[in-house]
C-alpha cells in the first residue's frame, strides 16, 4: 500500500504460497505447448523474433436471450513472455469488433504483440536464440538468422550476408563488430551494421 501524496510504501506483505497448483514438469509442458501456439499455430500474429512468447487465442460467439448472436463475437488473446520464465502476462479482449476478421488470432493477437514489444524495453528483457522458430507461410513477413561475420574480411562478410543490406562504419578490411549480433533474426532484406578495423 502506498501513501497517496509521497508515494512511499506504508504497508507491504509478501504472498504466501500454501500449496503447489501444478508440478514444475506440468508447467513446463504447458508453457511449451503455448509457445508452439504462437510459433506455429493460431497465435502466430503475436510472435516476436528473438523472444520467446507463449499464448492462446480465443473466439467466443456471444449469446443473447439464450441464442447465439449472428456475427457478434468476443475475440481474445492471452500471452506471456519469456515463455521459459514468464515476467509479463497480457490479456486482450475485443468485444464485437466491426470490420475485422472474427478470430482472436487475427484481431487480438497483434494488439497483445504490441503490448509485449513495449514490455521488452520496459522490463529490459534480453533477446535469445533459444525457443521455437516460426514456420512461415506466404502471408508472413519473413526473417532470417544472421551469421557471425566478426573476424571476416569485407568480401567474406558480403558473401555471408547475401540478402541483407549492409552499412559500414570505420576503416579497414576486417569486421570488428556486427549489429544485430550473430544468430539474431532480421527481416529479409533487413540492415546489418558492420564496424571495420
**Do 94 and 111 form a contact (C-beta atoms < 8 A)?**
yes
User: 38, exposed or middle or buried, with CB in 10 Å at 0-12, 13-18, 19+?
Assistant: buried
* Distance, C-alpha 175 to centroid of its chain: 30
Residue with cell 563488430: 177
Report pLDDT for 85.
93
Question: How far is 87 from 136, CA to CA, in rounded Å?
Answer: 27
**How confident is the model over 78-127, as pLDDT tens digits?**
999 999 999 999 999 999 988 888 888 899 999 999 999 999 989 999 99
Report pLDDT for 153.
94
Domain borders along the chain are 24-122, 143-196
Instruction: Give the CATH number of domain 24-122; options: 3.40.50.970, 3.30.470.10, 3.40.710.10, 3.40.50.2000.
Output: 3.40.710.10
**How confident is the model over 163-183, as pLDDT tens digits?**
899 999 999 999 999 999 888
Per-residue DSSP letter, 148: P
Report pLDDT for 136.
72
Question: How far is 175 from 100, CA to CA, in rounded Å?
Answer: 47
Report pLDDT for 147.
92
Instruction: Give the CATH number of domain 143-196; options: 3.40.640.10, 3.40.50.2000, 3.30.10.20, 3.30.420.40.
Output: 3.30.10.20
Amino acid at each position: 500500500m502506498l501513501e497517496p501524496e509521497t508515494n512511499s510504501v506504508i504497508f507491504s506483505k509478501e504472498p504466501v504460497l500454501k500449496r503447489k497448483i501444478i508440478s514444475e514438469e506440468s508447467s513446463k509442458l504447458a508453457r511449451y505447448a503455448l509457445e508452439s501456439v504462437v510459433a506455429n499455430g493460431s497465435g502466430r500474429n503475436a510472435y516476436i523474433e528473438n523472444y520467446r512468447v507463449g499464448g492462446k487465442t480465443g473466439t467466443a460467439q456471444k449469446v443473447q436471450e439464450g441464442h447465439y448472436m449472428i456475427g457478434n463475437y468476443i475475440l481474445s488473446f492471452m500471452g506471456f513472455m519469456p515463455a521459459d520464465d514468464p515476467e509479463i502476462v497480457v490479456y486482450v479482449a475485443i468485444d464485437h469488433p466491426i470490420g475485422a476478421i472474427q478470430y482472436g488470432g487475427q484481431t487480438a493477437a497483434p494488439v497483445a504483440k504490441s503490448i509485449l514489444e513495449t514490455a521488452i524495453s520496459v522490463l529490459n528483457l534480453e533477446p535469445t536464440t533459444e525457443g521455437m522458430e516460426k514456420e512461415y507461410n506466404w502471408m508472413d513477413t519473413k526473417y532470417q538468422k544472421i551469421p557471425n561475420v566478426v573476424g571476416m574480411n569485407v568480401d567474406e562478410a558480403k558473401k555471408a550476408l547475401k540478402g541483407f543490406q549492409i552499412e559500414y562504419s570505420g576503416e579497414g578490411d576486417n569486421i570488428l563488430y556486427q549489429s544485430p549480433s550473430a544468430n539474431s533474426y532480421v527481416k529479409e532484406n533487413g540492415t546489418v551494421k558492420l564496424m571495420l578495423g
